[in-house]
Amino acid sequence: MSPSNPEWYEELREEPVRTAGFTERLAWAIREEAQAGNRKGRIAWGKTLSYSAAIVGAAVIVLFSFLSKEAASPSPAGASPIASAAAGADAAEEVDAIAAKPEPTDEEWRRLTAADTTLVGGKQWIGTQSDEEGTAFVVWKVSHESAGNESISLGVNLWKWDDPDWSTAKLRWSTKQAGSTSLMKQNGVYYTVASNKYAAREDYMIVDNNAFGGENGKMYPYSLGIVIDPRIREVKIVSAAERPSIPVQLMEADGETYWFALLPSGGREYTIEWLDADGRAVYTETRYYSS
């Protein structure tokens, strides 16, 4: 027996009333409670009540109190392991069923994106652009905000409609590649960083020079960005390698407007124009990329 632990401590520790309620943490609390009561002074209950009996009585009271609190503490809503596991299994089955659809709806793409953990979890779906070859490009973002500062990951996932296991002959959508770019927003204003200097952007934020590699060496370069200037109503992209202009998809999410366009895999240069409601160019920029 330890000099700091009375006999009742050792007895309960070795034979905890045949229950799992007596733990080291509980024993510590009992001992602290008993010693605190002793420091306050012994109450005169008569000479028949000894110091040891007082400690045992306090121990029983504290033990009963702790066990009662633990037994009476309600479980948080939905905290049942069985219920949580069942809910998780149902959600996984629903996502699996959506992935087996050749043409998911926007809401279904939103669910597929939220369930996907490639590169990063917690993705918010922005939009999807797909082709007739069973390839889909899903634009997403993940943001974290603190004290007015927002850190944003703006990314694209390349999904393919194929047999991901190469053996089951079961076609489904699955992520093949993913890429993202980090952006910064402070008090609602986007900033770019160049040479350790921050510059507020009032026109647009652009992300390109990104490309996914496909089968047989095919590349998928793309242009992605955020419209900031409210005068911009349309985005037009022209490439020297492909005319007429390249299709650009505008996407709306959380009050923001994004654009996404696949660039010619054999190109090196393109011109992007941001047009107002009358079709006039508000901004024009020529950019270069590798494919």
pTM: 0.68
Average pLDDT, whole number, for the chain?
A: 77
Domain spans of the chain, in order of start: 7-72, 116-288
pLDDT of residue 81: 61
pLDDT digits (tens, 9 = 90+) for 71-118: 444 444 445 666 666 677 788 999 999 999 999 999 999 999 999 999
Between CA 60 and CA 33 the distance in angstroms is 11
Paired residues of 141 in beta bridges: 124, 154
Provide the residue type at 86 as one letter.
Answer: A
pLDDT of residue 71: 41
SS3 88: helix
Question: pLDDT higher for 272 or 38?
Answer: 272
Contacts 24+ apart (CB under 8 A), 20-24: 21/63, 21/66, 21/67, 21/70, 22/63
Paired residues of 205 in beta bridges: 226
pLDDT digits (tens, 9 = 90+) for 126-140: 999 998 889 999 999
